[in-house]
Amino acid sequence: MSLIMKYLVFFFGIFFTFQKIQAQTIKGQVVDSTMSGPINFADVRLFKIKNQQTPLFITSTDSLGNFQITSKDSGNFLLKIAAVGYRVFTQNIHLNTGVNNLQPILLGPDNQLSGVVVTSTAKLVQNKMDKIVYNVEKDLTSQGGMATDVLKKVPMVSVDPDGNVDLLGQSNIKFLINGKNSSMFGSNVADALQTIPASQIKSIEVISSPGAKYDGEGTGGIINIILKDDKMQGVNGNVSLGAGTRLQNGAFNLNMRKGKFGANVYFSSNNQRRVTTKIHNVRNSWDSTAKTNTALSQAGNGTFKKFGYQTGMGWNWDLSANDVLTGGFGYKHQVRTNTSNYDQENVVTDWNSNDLVSQTGSYYRSYNNHIRNTVDWNVDYKHNFKRDGQTLEFIYNASNASDQLDYYNNRYADVNASAFTGTLSNNIGHDNLSEFSLDYVQPLGGTFKLLTGGKAAFRNLRSATDVYGTDADISDNQLNTALSNHLTYHQKVYAGYASLNFSLGSWLNVESGMRIEQTNIDATYSNASNYSIPNYHTWLPSVTIEHPFDNDKQSIKISVSRRIQRPDYKFLNPSIDATDPYNLSSGNPYLKPEKATMTQFTYSNNFSNKTMLSATLFWRHNQNDIQPYINYYDTYQIGDSMYNNVALSTYQNIGYEDQYGMNMFGSAAPFKGMTIRGNITLLEKHIVNQFPPQNVINNLEYRINFNADYQITKTMMVEGFGSFRSARYEVQGRFPSFTNYTFAIRKQIWKDKGSLAFNMTNPFANDISQRVVQKGTNFNLNQLRQIPFRSFGITFTYKFGGLRLGDKKKEDEDNTPATMDISGSNS
């Protein structure tokens, strides 16, 4: 691995040395002519005057309407700009060496096109200065699925069988919805992602090395899910219905805009049918003092099912030419039900293999039902000053979630016995989040720009868990005060940042900044009092340097950022969960925050509209690395109860971890109608564990996925996708590899307004086997799960309203472009 990195660094260094730094650059801003507000995601293309069929350069405007084009040649060119709901802009321009600054380009609304269909011009993957954008609308096999299915195909991202996501090998990821936090991710990220239909997602932004303007939370980086929101005049939307052997879902989106006010309404639901997983766990432990061996075997099955729906609306109002007010409201309902049934055997022998205790034939049954309701709302006010690029934005974001978790577990002498003991519990919890942020952008002259702002985030949690003991000989359930627990958790985070962004000519772009965050935590746990969680502040510097060349088709980028992972309240809660009396779990109130420094070196090349390559070398250093940790006890006392042969799972700052790796993503069109894409991550881990046995882990991991689609006819397409994750090693063991593959075929109907898609996942095997091997002081554990993963599904979608960009008839109706000489605007 180290040898690969050395060769790539050498290659990039030589390649960078021989690049030209002289070029012609066009910089401009696209603005709505009726309200002088910026237009984002406008399609910008540069053509030769004599060849207006094949563009020399394609880009899109950013959130402020700005764009930049670089050309090696000077002379006369044609600039063409198109945006949804606006008339196409075309203009002849003359380029001289240096930076050519255009006057603001005004686009007028096209009210005559409110009833035709939208056709996106964005690429599937866009590599931008500070992030990678995956445009979900161009993805076929994911359309009938959920957000998890989309993430499997996003560059740098990997997903395991349980829906857990990692980014460049790190699972501590900050998930956002439209750039904002939500309590829906507070309980279970994997379940939350399964409630977001792919048909509602516009794009996914992967920010592996966030700058100072982003929240510092998440040592793995940020994944921002952008939902659909069309800003064209009139009415448009879509309906999606999916049915399958494992998942059923439906979604409805409606966008409306008249004049300066627009709104969108959405509803979606999903139902994951009951799935039964076979389970077989074997734990061997030994007591050197008593010279005994204990073997615990648990074999049976676990079933689960999930259901959820979400609804809400968003709106935006152009108060004036320079003021925009947006807002939104959403409601989400999630239900997850789990049932487990298995036989237990517990055998104790001496070191001569003589039986001392033999408990065979005992039977265990558990049930839990988790209901989570989440309400989100936000208001965003933005003011654009008269000076180009000067803005002020205020955001208020709030999210409230309520949880209800009920469970019971019973232990029988055997499967037919009536006598039993067990526990039952009900848990009521509330999770409230409020955030206030202020962001200001000040142009400083030339290409220099100052970004600064602050944020205050307040999170308050309350939870009450009452646990009762059950016994066949007692008519009334008895409250178990040792296992019951009540908690309150208050977290306040205050942040401020400053970032300086600038360009040096047309060959170097720089974003550098510093963020400081102060964290105050006040927590009360009913079953623990002799501890305190300290307050702390964190300095989070970041810098990104990019060198674009070859008409911006190629670039080399270096970025360094520092991140933090605050222990969540679940990680800190010291209360014992004794749902399984042989496998207890607890948090650790003494956890320190994990800190990470991420360094990346990226080369990207856009050979054409369908062919590109991106290669990234990275190094991540984690201090106070937080990992799950298991300790074994022959006996463990909770209140007045004594538990025997117990494994206690908790969390520890195990020491530090270094990750060295490489990611490569590429796409190509080998022949007409076909596109192939590939994504590979190689990762070398070096983990130093400070807990017994104080071991050092060195391991090479890799993730690979491959995607191919073929346009059979104008209305029919087929696609295949496959991925593989190698086994991974942590301080206490080995976690299994995972293979996933999907095939899909889609047929456009009703003049492309509707479509039918059929997809199948892992069709050649019903189950996947997941084997975990863990070792610790005086124990080893083998776990085997056989998870049903084969599925078949069909999806119907229908679009109404919209706009088709680049329509030949519309282009012919455009006026002949005027010629503008900008030779006097060089800087």
The predicted model scores a pTM of 0.81
CA distance linking residue 722 with residue 741, whole number of Å: 4
Task: Compute φ and ψ for 501, nearest 5 degrees.
Answer: -115, 135
DSSP 146: B
Q: Which amino acid is at 109?
A: P
* DSSP state, residue 216: S
Could you give the CA distance from residue 626 to residue 591 in angstroms, rounded to a whole number?
8
Separation between Cα atoms, residue 219 and residue 204, nearest integer Å: 19
Q: What is the DSSP letter of 209?
A: S
Q: d(Cα 216, Cα 363) in Å, to the nearest integer?
A: 47
Q: Say if residues 305 and 270 touch (Cβ distance below 8 Å).
A: no
Ordered mean pLDDT values, 10 residues apiece, the chain (827 residues) = 46 42 70 72 80 73 78 77 82 74 79 43 75 80 74 89 88 88 75 80 90 92 84 78 89 86 90 91 90 91 90 90 91 92 88 79 83 94 89 94 87 63 84 95 90 96 86 68 86 96 87 96 78 87 92 88 89 83 87 94 86 93 93 87 89 94 92 90 94 88 92 90 92 92 90 87 92 92 93 89 43 34 30
Q: Which residue has the tokens 């445009």?
A: 135
CA proximity to 579, closest of 273, 190, 282, 302:
302
Nearest to 45 by CA among 23, 30, 64: 30
Q: What are phi and psi of 813, to 5 degrees?
A: -85, -10
- Structure confidence at residue 764 (pLDDT): 92
Contacts of 295 (CB under 8 A, 6+ apart): 282, 283, 284, 345, 346, 347, 348, 349
State how far the alpha carbon of 202 is from the alpha carbons of 38, 88, 193, 709, 820, in Å: 20, 23, 15, 20, 36
State how far the Cα of 497 lies from the Cα of 314, in Å rounded to an integer: 28
pLDDT at 366 (0 to 100): 86
Question: Angle at Cα 659 formed by Cα 599 and Cα 185, nearest 5°?
Answer: 85
Question: Is beta strand 767-776 parallel, antiparallel or unpaired with respect to 754-761?
Answer: unpaired
What's the full length of the chain, in residues? Answer: 827
**What secondary structure does DSSP assign to 229-241, as a single string?**
---SSEEEEEEEE
Report the relative pairing of strands 89-95 and 819-821 from DSSP bridges: parallel
- Residue with token string 């439209």: 178
Q: Which two tokens stand for residue 765?
A: 């095997």
Cis upstream peptide for 443 (omega within 30°): no
For residue 99 the two structure tokens come to: 């930076």
Q: Which uninterrupted H or E stretch holds 200?
A: none
Q: Is 810 helix (H, G, I), strand (E, B) or coil?
A: helix
What is the pLDDT, as a whole number, of residue 11?
Answer: 42
CB 249 within 8 A of CB 237: no
**What DSSP element (H or E) covers 811?**
helix 808-813
The predicted structure's pLDDT at residue 299: 92
Q: What kind and span of H or E run contains 185? A: helix 184-187
| The pLDDT of residue 598 | 95
- Burial per residue of 234-247, b for 16 or more beta-carbon CB atoms within 10 angstroms, e otherwise: bbbbbbbbbebebb
Instruction: State residue 10's pLDDT score.
Output: 45
> Which amino acid is it at 477?
N
pLDDT value of residue 23: 54
Provide Rg for the chain, Cα atoms.
Answer: 29
The residue ranges of DSSP E strands in 669-753, in sequence order, are 674-689, 696-713, 716-725, 728-730, 733-735, 738-749
Domains recognised in the chain with CATH numbers: 2-121 (2.60.40.10), 127-804 (2.40.170.20)
Structure tokens at 200: 């509602």
Please answer whether residues 631 and 643 qualify as being in contact, where contact means their C-beta atoms are separated by less than 8 angstroms. Answer: no
> Under 8 Å CB-to-CB from 664, ≥6 apart: which residues?
613, 614, 615, 616, 678, 679, 680
- The pLDDT score that the predictor gives to residue 631 is 92
SS (HEC) of 480-538: CCCCCEEEEEEEEEEEEEEEEEEEECCCEEEEEEEEEEEEEEEEEECCECCCCCCCEEE
Nearest CA to 303 out of 344, 336, 333 is that of: 336
The contacts found for 286-291 with CB under 8 angstroms, 24 or more apart, are 286/778, 286/779, 287/634, 287/778, 288/778, 290/634, 291/350, 291/351
pLDDT of residue 815: 33
Are 364 and 409 in contact by the 8 Å Cβ rule? The answer is yes
